[in-house]
Structure 1
Amino acid sequence: MSQSYEFYTERADAAAAAAKQATLDNVRDRELRAEKTWRDLAKQARAVSVQRAKTEAEKAAARAAESSV
Protein backbone atom coordinates (compact mmCIF):
# COMPACT_ATOMS: atom_id res chain seq x y z
CA MET A 1 0.00 0.00 0.00
CA SER A 2 1.42 3.30 -1.08
CA GLN A 3 1.05 6.20 1.32
CA SER A 4 0.92 9.83 0.34
CA TYR A 5 3.11 12.77 1.22
CA GLU A 6 0.18 14.27 3.11
CA PHE A 7 -0.28 11.14 5.24
CA TYR A 8 3.38 11.08 6.25
CA THR A 9 3.38 14.80 6.97
CA GLU A 10 0.31 14.48 9.19
CA ARG A 11 1.97 11.67 11.14
CA ALA A 12 5.16 13.75 11.52
CA ASP A 13 3.15 16.70 12.80
CA ALA A 14 1.35 14.44 15.28
CA ALA A 15 4.67 13.06 16.53
CA ALA A 16 6.06 16.60 16.90
CA ALA A 17 3.01 17.63 18.91
CA ALA A 18 3.35 14.55 21.11
CA ALA A 19 7.03 15.37 21.67
CA LYS A 20 6.14 18.89 22.81
CA GLN A 21 3.60 17.52 25.30
CA ALA A 22 5.84 14.76 26.63
CA THR A 23 7.04 15.12 30.19
CA LEU A 24 9.43 12.18 30.13
CA ASP A 25 12.71 12.49 28.26
CA ASN A 26 12.53 9.00 26.76
CA VAL A 27 9.01 9.62 25.45
CA ARG A 28 10.08 12.97 23.96
CA ASP A 29 13.09 11.32 22.33
CA ARG A 30 10.94 8.53 20.91
CA GLU A 31 8.47 11.01 19.43
CA LEU A 32 11.27 13.12 17.95
CA ARG A 33 12.75 10.00 16.33
CA ALA A 34 9.30 9.13 15.00
CA GLU A 35 8.90 12.64 13.62
CA LYS A 36 12.22 12.41 11.81
CA THR A 37 11.28 9.04 10.33
CA TRP A 38 7.87 10.30 9.17
CA ARG A 39 9.48 13.39 7.61
CA ASP A 40 12.02 11.21 5.79
CA LEU A 41 9.18 9.04 4.49
CA ALA A 42 7.30 12.15 3.36
CA LYS A 43 10.38 13.40 1.53
CA GLN A 44 10.78 10.02 -0.16
CA ALA A 45 7.09 9.92 -1.13
CA ARG A 46 7.37 13.39 -2.66
CA ALA A 47 10.48 12.36 -4.62
CA VAL A 48 8.73 9.25 -5.93
CA SER A 49 5.73 11.33 -6.95
CA VAL A 50 7.90 13.83 -8.80
CA GLN A 51 9.82 11.06 -10.55
CA ARG A 52 6.58 9.31 -11.50
CA ALA A 53 5.21 12.53 -13.03
CA LYS A 54 8.46 13.05 -14.95
CA THR A 55 8.37 9.49 -16.28
CA GLU A 56 4.71 9.85 -17.29
CA ALA A 57 5.50 13.08 -19.16
CA GLU A 58 8.43 11.44 -20.96
CA LYS A 59 6.28 8.48 -21.99
CA ALA A 60 3.51 10.78 -23.21
CA ALA A 61 6.02 12.76 -25.27
CA ALA A 62 7.42 9.53 -26.74
CA ARG A 63 3.91 8.33 -27.66
CA ALA A 64 3.13 11.69 -29.25
CA ALA A 65 6.36 11.57 -31.26
CA GLU A 66 5.60 8.02 -32.45
CA SER A 67 2.04 8.86 -33.48
CA SER A 68 3.16 11.85 -35.54
CA VAL A 69 5.56 9.74 -37.60
Structure 2
Amino acid sequence: MNDNPDFYRTRAEEEQANADAATLDNVRDRCERAAKAWATMADRAERTQTMRLTREAATRESVAAARSAQSIGSAGSADLHADLRKATAD
Protein backbone atom coordinates (compact mmCIF):
# COMPACT_ATOMS: atom_id res chain seq x y z
CA MET A 1 0.00 0.00 0.00
CA ASN A 2 1.16 3.51 -0.73
CA ASP A 3 2.53 5.36 2.31
CA ASN A 4 2.40 8.83 0.78
CA PRO A 5 0.22 11.38 2.60
CA ASP A 6 -0.39 13.26 -0.65
CA PHE A 7 -1.90 10.14 -2.19
CA TYR A 8 -4.24 9.73 0.77
CA ARG A 9 -5.21 13.42 0.72
CA THR A 10 -6.00 13.20 -2.99
CA ARG A 11 -8.22 10.18 -2.40
CA ALA A 12 -9.98 12.00 0.47
CA GLU A 13 -10.66 14.97 -1.80
CA GLU A 14 -12.01 12.68 -4.54
CA GLU A 15 -14.33 10.95 -2.11
CA GLN A 16 -15.54 14.30 -0.74
CA ALA A 17 -16.24 15.46 -4.31
CA ASN A 18 -18.18 12.23 -4.87
CA ALA A 19 -20.13 12.88 -1.68
CA ASP A 20 -20.93 16.44 -2.76
CA ALA A 21 -22.16 15.18 -6.13
CA ALA A 22 -24.20 12.28 -4.74
CA THR A 23 -27.96 12.49 -4.94
CA LEU A 24 -28.67 9.49 -2.73
CA ASP A 25 -28.22 9.84 1.01
CA ASN A 26 -26.62 6.42 1.46
CA VAL A 27 -24.09 7.11 -1.32
CA ARG A 28 -23.26 10.51 0.17
CA ASP A 29 -22.81 8.96 3.61
CA ARG A 30 -20.57 6.22 2.23
CA CYS A 31 -18.40 8.73 0.36
CA GLU A 32 -18.11 10.98 3.41
CA ARG A 33 -17.03 8.02 5.55
CA ALA A 34 -14.48 7.09 2.89
CA ALA A 35 -13.19 10.69 2.75
CA LYS A 36 -12.80 10.69 6.53
CA ALA A 37 -10.94 7.36 6.44
CA TRP A 38 -8.56 8.59 3.71
CA ALA A 39 -7.89 11.79 5.68
CA THR A 40 -7.14 9.73 8.79
CA MET A 41 -4.70 7.59 6.82
CA ALA A 42 -3.01 10.75 5.49
CA ASP A 43 -2.60 12.08 9.04
CA ARG A 44 -1.16 8.75 10.18
CA ALA A 45 1.25 8.62 7.24
CA GLU A 46 2.46 12.16 8.02
CA ARG A 47 3.08 11.24 11.66
CA THR A 48 4.90 8.10 10.58
CA GLN A 49 7.14 10.04 8.19
CA THR A 50 7.94 12.59 10.88
CA MET A 51 8.80 9.89 13.42
CA ARG A 52 10.89 8.02 10.85
CA LEU A 53 12.88 11.14 9.94
CA THR A 54 13.42 11.96 13.61
CA ARG A 55 14.56 8.41 14.37
CA GLU A 56 16.89 8.34 11.35
CA ALA A 57 18.43 11.68 12.33
CA ALA A 58 19.00 10.44 15.89
CA THR A 59 20.59 7.27 14.54
CA ARG A 60 22.91 9.27 12.28
CA GLU A 61 23.91 11.46 15.21
CA SER A 62 24.65 8.50 17.48
CA VAL A 63 26.66 6.76 14.74
CA ALA A 64 28.65 9.95 14.14
CA ALA A 65 29.27 10.31 17.88
CA ALA A 66 30.36 6.68 18.15
CA ARG A 67 32.73 7.07 15.20
CA SER A 68 34.12 10.26 16.68
CA ALA A 69 34.66 8.58 20.04
CA GLN A 70 36.24 5.61 18.30
CA SER A 71 38.64 7.81 16.33
CA ILE A 72 39.54 9.73 19.48
CA GLY A 73 40.11 6.44 21.25
CA SER A 74 42.25 5.21 18.36
CA ALA A 75 44.33 8.39 18.43
CA GLY A 76 44.79 8.07 22.18
CA SER A 77 45.76 4.45 21.74
CA ALA A 78 48.33 5.37 19.09
CA ASP A 79 49.83 7.97 21.44
CA LEU A 80 49.98 5.40 24.21
CA HIS A 81 51.80 2.94 21.97
CA ALA A 82 54.28 5.63 20.92
CA ASP A 83 54.92 6.49 24.56
CA LEU A 84 55.47 2.82 25.37
CA ARG A 85 57.94 2.43 22.50
CA LYS A 86 59.85 5.49 23.72
CA ALA A 87 59.92 4.21 27.27
CA THR A 88 61.19 0.77 26.31
CA ALA A 89 63.77 2.22 23.89
CA ASP A 90 65.44 4.23 26.68
Please give the TM-score of this superposition, normalised by the length of structure 2.
0.74
Residue correspondence of structure 1 range 1-69 to structure 2 within 5 A: 1-69=1-69
Q: Percent identity?
A: 41
Determine the C-alpha separation between the residues in 1 that align with 2:14 and 2:23. 16
Deviations 1:10-57 (A, max 9, x none): 000000000000000000000000000000000000000000000000
Shift of 1:4: 0.6
Q: Residue type matched to 2:6 in 1?
A: E
Greater relative contact order (Cα < 8 A, sep 6+): 1
Shift of 1:2: 3.9
- SS of alignment partner, residue 51 of structure 1: helix
Please give the TM-score of this superposition, normalised by the length of structure 1.
0.96
Number of aligned residue pairs: give it. 69
Determine the C-alpha separation between the residues in 2 that align with 1:38 and 1:13. 9
- SS of alignment partner, residue 3 of structure 1: coil
CA-based RMSD: 0.8
Instruction: Select the structure that is richer in helix.
Output: 2
Which structure has the bigger radius of gyration?
2
Unaligned segments of structure 1, at least 5 residues: none
- Regions of 4+ moved over 2 Å: none
